[in-house]
Chain A
Amino acid sequence: QVQLLQSGAEVREPGASVKVSCKASGYTFTGYYIHWVRQAPGQGLQWMGWMNPNSGGTNYAENFQGRVTMTRDTSFSTAYMALTSLEFDDAAVYYCARGDSSNWTPKFDYWGQGTLVTVSS
């Protein structure tokens, strides 16, 4: 069965960076886009961008350009999302989600369990 298993909760100070991992299993990792979505406490979903695990190609939402980097390690079927220069507003649950097999359109059929990132001084 398809599963996306994310790394555990993180606590960071303002100005620091965080890197969240997302290990895929039950399907061909390089065959589907991976998207990242975050949800601040009590707030809605915010799309952050996607990565093509086959090519390594990426596209980031304008709000995160310059601060976010999405990478992968195909040997371990794992995707990563790194966010730098953290601010208090970056405190959220970060989700990875499997996208479409052929393009970047929003069809997120499997989701990780979420990783809570706390920003605290």
Chain B
Amino acid sequence: QSALTQPRSVSGSPGHSVTISCTGTSSDVGTYNFVSWYQQHPGKAPKLIIYDVLKRPSGVPDRFSGSKSGNTASLTISGLQAEDEADYYCCSYAGTYNSVFGGGTKLTVV
């Protein structure tokens, strides 16, 4: 499977909102509601922030939200904070027991 497509970088100001897209195909994002999002700070392991397209694990602020339309999933972060600056990765189930990650997006809070 080919990696899902994410923008290389996005930026936003504190208190504002940003949306990160994750584009796949009808073989993965478009067919299955099994998209998850991960936040990774430098030198750290990834952290699950969204699963099953729009569900939040306990402890994840409701500033983080997920959605999907067609072959594209999106992560929206509202009320940006300095600590949100990190790399973000989407991951989708791709059928036949496989999963695939996106290339990652670097979020800068300016």
Whether B57 and A106, one on each chain, are in contact in the complex, defined by CB atoms closer than 8 angstroms, is no
Residue B30 is within 8 A (CB to CB) of chain A in the complex: no
A59: which B residues are within 8 A, CB to CB? 97-98
Max count, chain B CB within 10 A of own CB: residue among A46, A105, A108: A105
Total interface residues on A, CB under 8 Å, equals 22
Given contacts A107-B48, A109-B57, A113-B45, contact A47 B97 (CB under 8 A): no
Give A61's nearest chain B residue, CB to CB. B98
Contacts A104-B97, A106-B34, A107-B36; A45 near B48 (Cβ below 8 A): no
* Main SS at interface, chain B: strand
User: What is the bound-complex CA distance between A109 and B49, given in angstroms?
Assistant: 9
Contacts of B98 in A (CB 8 A): 47, 59, 61-62
Q: Which of A45, A50, A107, A108 is within 8 Å of B97, CB to CB?
A: A50
Residues of chain B within 8 A of A45, CB atoms compared: 38, 40, 46, 89, 91, 101, 104
What are 20 A-B residue pairs whose CB atoms fall within 8 Å in the complex?
A44-B89, A45-B38, A46-B101, A47-B98, A47-B99, A47-B101, A61-B1, A61-B98, A62-B1, A105-B93, A106-B34, A106-B91, A106-B92, A106-B99, A107-B36, A108-B46, A109-B51, A111-B46, A113-B45, A114-B45
Residues of A with Cβ closer than 8 Å to B?
35, 37, 44-47, 50, 59, 61-62, 95, 97, 104-109, 111-114
Q: B interface vs A, CB < 8 Å?
A: 1, 3, 32, 34-36, 38, 40, 45-48, 51-52, 57, 89, 91-93, 97-104
